[in-house]
């Protein structure tokens, strides 16, 4: 359980004082609830025999005050738990978002996309009744002690009832978790497959493939419904068993009470108090069992989050080497994707000094983009390291390293915000640098034709064309004075004028002291710009060729 809840552990530790106060308030709340049956016992055993109405009014007033205080404490505790849930939820969301981005960069986009849904599930769990039910468990030992003082048989009935109802909750979780998880996984895969196919609207409608797609989706959905039906059937059976256990508890309490009353072992007031306290002792367990799906789903979400956070954990940053060589040094680099026996790159060691440009070449699927991600510190190598001016790009503070890097991925993406913000990397100022970078790559005219120019929206849903998106992303890559410029197929989608402008921008960056790495399927076309080529081959082989 501790490993599963590790993503929650750190934010919760910071809130331990608040949790401790909530526990103390829970003890007070449950004490106020347990005081009521004791006062009732005094009414039946004292007031009814003495017929002293003044004592009755005093006890009634005492009950009212205690219940009001208990209600006030319960309200304050609920408010504190709600605030704590929101605080922990925000911290969890930030950690999960950072980890999911790193995991997605490693290729596990589906797993990473689930992370924020799991955070929402945990926030729902922490903001619901489960934390209150857990805190209310403190009433069990208090009630058991009082029941023992009334009579040991009452203690045995309450203890056995609590254990039995808890076992039913465990059985409910184990009996239904498997089918529910299987149904959720199948449903998720089916939804992703169907969404991906229906996204090809023109192809699906043009070729008349909609009936075929729906026919393939229907059996999978039937399996999902069948798994959910199994889980719901088991849940109904165990819910009925829980109701039977609660009824048996009430019957056993009455039977024991009547037996002890006839034997003159307890008073009528003690019998009534014992019945009320037994219900108070088992009520938190009943609530937890009734919400088994909430905490079951929460535990499953925590386990998935633990895996994402573990895989997406950023390496500890290390300082730059004082005597590190300037430029880019790739040292003993070996890249082997998970599940592959042969490496993409094996033992690459090269030095690329400042003011040089190199083309990364090789057939499709050979690992060019993976090499670029490793150079940028976005993918952990099996062996070796990459240094930029003596700084390990993997084990670095990204906020410090990021401004020194220009990067154009193979599929450029823009973030929600304006064109100005995207090109300027969301810096607070620097409009002049944004325009300079846009002019450098030939994007300034295209941006000027947008409805609002640099203030136009540029996010995923902003409606920019593929060419416009690429030009804005190119401008972002050249923004500032990057020491390392990494371009993955930068000429894709550009016309002759755009390619010529891009070449001039690369030359300017190279002459300004940057190390330029670019992927191209036609290295010869860059022979007058690049100093050489890094050619990748099968089995992890690579060669460094000069273009001089």
Domains: count for the chain: 2
Spatial distance between the Cα atoms of 202 and 53, rounded to a whole number of angstroms: 85
The verdict on residue 5 lying in a domain is no
Most confident of 33-42, 64-73, 212-221, 429-438: 429-438
490: domain CATH number is 3.40.50.300
DSSP label at residue 1: -
Q: Are strands 356-361 and 405-408 parallel, antiparallel or unpaired?
A: unpaired
Q: What is the pLDDT of residues 192-224, one digit of tens each?
A: 666 666 666 666 666 676 677 667 667 766 766
The verdict on residue 259 lying in a domain is yes
The verdict on residue 2 lying in a domain is no
Q: What is the pLDDT of residues 492-548, one digit of tens each?
A: 888 888 889 999 999 999 999 999 999 988 888 898 899 999 999 988 899 988 876
Query: Which residue, 290, 320, 351, sits at the end of a domain?
Result: 290
Mark whether 261 and 333 lie in a shared domain: no
Return the H-helix or E-strand segment holding 364: none
Q: What is the pLDDT of residues 443-502, one digit of tens each?
A: 999 999 998 999 998 877 778 888 888 899 999 999 988 999 999 999 888 888 888 999
C-beta contacts of 101-107 below 8 A and 24+ residues apart: 101/312, 102/311, 102/312, 102/313, 102/314, 102/378, 103/308, 103/311, 103/312, 105/373, 105/378, 105/379, 106/311, 106/379, 107/337
Q: Which residues form the domain of 348? A: 328-546
153: domain CATH number is 1.20.1560.10
Mark whether 265 and 369 lie in a shared domain: no
Mark whether 394 and 461 lie in a shared domain: yes
Query: Which residue, 268, 290, 312, sits at the end of a domain?
Result: 290
Query: Which residue, 270, 290, 310, sits at the end of a domain?
Result: 290
Mark whether 454 and 528 lie in a shared domain: yes
Mark whether 351 and 460 lie in a shared domain: yes
Query: Sorting pLDDT into bands at 50, 70 and 90, what band is 112?
Result: low
Mark whether 228 and 345 lie in a shared domain: no
Mark whether 275 and 332 lie in a shared domain: no
End-to-end CA distance of the chain: 61
Q: Are 442 and 467 in contact (CB under 8 A)?
A: no
Most confident of 194-208, 231-245, 271-285, 311-325: 271-285
Q: Are 118 and 103 in contact (CB under 8 A)?
A: no
Contacts of 459 (CB under 8 A, 6+ apart): 414, 415, 416, 417
Q: Are 253 and 151 in contact (CB under 8 A)?
A: no
Q: Provide the mean pLDDT of the chain.
A: 79
Roughly what angle, to the nearest 10 degrees, separates helices 268-290 and 292-311?
Answer: 40
Q: Are 378 and 414 in contact (CB under 8 A)?
A: no
pLDDT of 487? 93
Q: What is the pLDDT of residues 372-391, one digit of tens each?
A: 989 998 888 889 999 999 89
Spatial distance between the Cα atoms of 439 and 417, rounded to a whole number of angstroms: 20
Query: Sorting pLDDT into bands at 50, 70 and 90, what band is 87?
Result: confident
Mark whether 345 and 271 lie in a shared domain: no
The verdict on residue 95 lying in a domain is no
Mark whether 219 and 349 lie in a shared domain: no
pLDDT of 519? 92
User: Is the whole model's pTM more than 0.85, yes or no?
Assistant: no
Mark whether 512 and 412 lie in a shared domain: yes
Q: Are 128 and 290 in contact (CB under 8 A)?
A: no
The answer, yes or no, to whether residue 312 has pLDDT greater than 90, is no
Q: What is the pLDDT of residues 226-258, one digit of tens each?
A: 766 666 666 677 777 777 888 888 888 888 888
* Dihedral (CA of 398, 401, 403, 405) sign: negative
Percent with pLDDT over 70 in the chain: 74
The verdict on residue 192 lying in a domain is yes
pLDDT of 209? 66
The verdict on residue 303 lying in a domain is no
């Amino acid at each position: 359980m501790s490993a599963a809840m590790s993503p929650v552990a750190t934010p919760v530790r910071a809130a331990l004082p608040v949790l401790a106060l909530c526990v103390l308030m829970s003890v007070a709340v449950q004490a106020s609830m347990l005081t009521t049956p004791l006062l009732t016992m005094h009414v039946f055993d004292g007031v009814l025999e003495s017929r002293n109405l003044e004592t009755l009014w005093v006890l009634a007033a005492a009950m009212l005050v205690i219940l009001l205080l208990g209600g006030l404490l319960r309200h304050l505790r609920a408010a504190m738990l709600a605030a704590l849930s929101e605080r922990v939820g925000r911290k969890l969301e930030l950690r999960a978002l950072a980890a999911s981005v790193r995991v997605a960069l490693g290729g596990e986009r589906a797993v990473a996309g689930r992370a924020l849904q799991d955070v929402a599930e945990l926030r729902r769990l922490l903001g619901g009744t489960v934390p209150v039910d857990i805190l209310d468990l403190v009433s069990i030992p208090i009630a058991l002690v009082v029941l023992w003082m009334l009579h040991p048989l009452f203690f045995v009935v309450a203890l056995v009832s609590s254990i039995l109802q808890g076992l039913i909750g465990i059985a409910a979780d184990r009996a239904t978790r498997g089918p529910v998880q299987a149904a959720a996984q199948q449903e998720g895969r089916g939804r992703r497959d169907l969404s991906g196919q229906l996204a090809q609207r023109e192809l699906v409608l043009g070729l008349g493939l909609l009936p075929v797609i729906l026919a393939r989706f229907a059996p999978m959905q039937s399996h999902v419904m069948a798994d959910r039906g199994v889980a719901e059937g088991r849940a109904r059976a165990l819910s009925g068993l829980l109701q039977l256990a609660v009824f048996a508890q009430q019957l056993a309490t009455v039977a024991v009470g009547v037996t002890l009353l006839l034997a003159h072992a307890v008073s009528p007031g003690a019998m009534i108090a014992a019945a009320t306290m037994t219900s108070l002792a088992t009520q938190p367990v009943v609530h937890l069992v009734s919400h088994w799906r909430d905490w079951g789903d929460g535990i499953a979400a925590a386990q998935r989050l633990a895996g994402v956070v573990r895989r997406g954990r950023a390496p500890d940053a290390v300082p730059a080497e004082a005597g590190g060589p300037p430029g880019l040094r790739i040292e003993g680099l070996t890249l082997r994707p998970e599940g592959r026996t042969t490496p993409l790159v094996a033992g690459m060691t090269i030095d690329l000094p400042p003011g040089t440009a190199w083309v990364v070449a090789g057939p499709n699927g050979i690992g060019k983009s993976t090499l670029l991600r490793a150079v940028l510190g976005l993918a952990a190598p099996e062996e070796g390291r990459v240094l930029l001016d003596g700084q390990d790009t993997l084990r670095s503070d990204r906020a410090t390293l990021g401004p020194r890097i220009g990067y154009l991925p193979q599929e450029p993406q823009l973030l929600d915000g304006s064109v100005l913000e995207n090109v300027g990397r969301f810096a607070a100022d620097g409009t002049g640098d944004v325009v300079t970078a846009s002019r450098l790559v030939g994007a300034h005219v295209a941006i000027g034709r947008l409805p609002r120019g640099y203030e136009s929206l540029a996010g995923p849903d902003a409606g920019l064309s593929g060419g416009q998106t690429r030009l804005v992303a190119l401008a972002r890559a050249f923004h500032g004075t990057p020491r390392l410029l990494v371009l993955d197929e930068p000429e894709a989608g550009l016309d002759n004028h755009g390619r010529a402008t891009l070449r001039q921008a690369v030359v300017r960056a190279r002459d300004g002291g940057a190390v330029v790495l670019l992927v191209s399927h036609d290295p010869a076309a860059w022979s007058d710009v690049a100093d050489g080529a890094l050619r990748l081959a099968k089995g992890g082989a690579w060669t460094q060729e000069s273009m001089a």
